[in-house]
Structure 1
Amino acid sequence: MTKRWFHFIDDGISTFALFAIILLTGTNVFSRYVLNKPLPWVEEIAIGLFVWLVFIGISSAMKRDSHIGVDYFVQKLPKPLRILSITIRAIAIYYVLFYVFVYLGFTFTAQASSKVTPILGISYQVINIAIPIGGLFTAIYFTRAFIRSIQIELGKEGGS
């Protein structure tokens, strides 16, 4: 049960963020151009939700192996070099995930403790925390994909 809940949390957050952005932006367009009374707070919420959509959506795409990758030349390598290439790629991705997203994301979030949005006064920590959370979710799904790709490579016979 917990695994199923965890598996869908990033999808739920991303779907909610996208739906809310569309709804709020559409409402603001109607309010601005039809009623001549724009809602100034909508932009703040939409920007915050967009940050959550992007950084949590990264993990959702990783879960489905939907990120773009060109592995034509890697697949032409002999088996030992393919495994080495996959491992080097994984090290680079882990660096980005853990140093850039998680470590720098938490640092960025901590530094935003006194920064608030101008209209609603929402702390930027609420917005910025999506960066390390998305990095952690993505690392979990990438680890699963990395293990699966190594298992597939080890199961292949010879090189192509």
Structure 2
Amino acid sequence: MQAAGALSDKINRVVEFVVAILMAALVLDVWIGVIDRYYFRWQLPWPEVLARYLMIWAALLAVSCGIARREHIGLTGFVMKLPARLRHAILIAIDLIALGLFVYLMWFGIPFAIGGLNRGAMIFGSNMAPFYSSIPVAAALASLQIVLVLLRDMGRHLDDADNQEVML
């Protein structure tokens, strides 16, 4: 189980680095758009569109980071009042449901991304596949992270009182 946690951490570090680069590119792109609009009036067609797709990629990839750190929002008040064995079973079931949803999203996201090959991104002069592929790629990473943290924690991630910031 420690191997799953170590692999999850390594993958998460890489994904966080990629997200940081995407966010830096997003900030730079928005600044170019602002400078273009208010100072130079170049009327560049791409900063707004590029910002949109950079934000989509960054946000979707960041989902797997939240999974790896177990930082997504959860209401734990009811679950924490249950006996430990039942709590562990429920938390494992929740992870399995989330895994199913992300696998579903990946499965149906692949044909969606392939369909982007036939759609043109007029501003960039390419097809939409690189942009549409954010959905299956992010879903695959999220699925992998859920499997790894499930193996790492086995429903015990709420047992440590230090992990709880808010008890409802």
Which TM class, normalised by the smaller chain length?
A: 0.7 to 0.9
- 2:132 is matched by which residue type in structure 1? N
For residue 40 of structure 1, give the secondary structure of its aligned residue in structure 2.
coil
Letter in 2 for 1:104: F
Question: Does the 8 Å CA contact 1:112/1:124 hold for their aligned counterparts?
Answer: yes
C-alpha deviation, 1:141, in angstroms = 1.8
Which range is displaced more, 42-51 or 26-35?
42-51
- Whether 2:15 is the aligned partner of 1:10: answer yes
1:106 to 85, 110, 117: 110
Asked if the contact 1:44/1:117 (under 8 Å) is kept, the reply is: no
Deviation for aligned residue 1:6: 3.6
Amino acid corresponding to residue 95 of structure 1 in structure 2: G
Separation (CA, whole Å) in 2 of partners of 1:66 and 1:151: 15
Question: 2:102 & 2:49 partners in 1: Cα distance?
Answer: 27
Q: What TM-score, normalized to structure 2? A: 0.80
2:134 equivalent to 1:130 = yes
Structure 2 unmatched ranges of 5 or more: 1-6, 161-168
- Deviation, 1:5, is 5.9
Asked whether the 8 Å contact 1:62–1:142 carries over to 2, the reply is yes
Contact kept, 8 Å, 2:110 with 2:136, in 1: the verdict is: yes
SS at match of 2:97: helix
| Cα-to-partner distance string for 1:9-60 (whole Å, 9 max, x where unaligned) | 2112211111111111111111111112221111222122112111111112
Give the TM-score taking structure 1 as reference length.
0.84
Q: How many residues align?
A: 153
Q: CA deviation at 1:116?
A: 1.7
Structure 2: which amino acid aligns with 1:14? V
Within a 5 Å distance, the mapping from 1:1-160 to structure 2 comes to 6-100=11-105, 102-150=106-154, 152=156
- 1:82 Cα deviation (Å)? 1.2
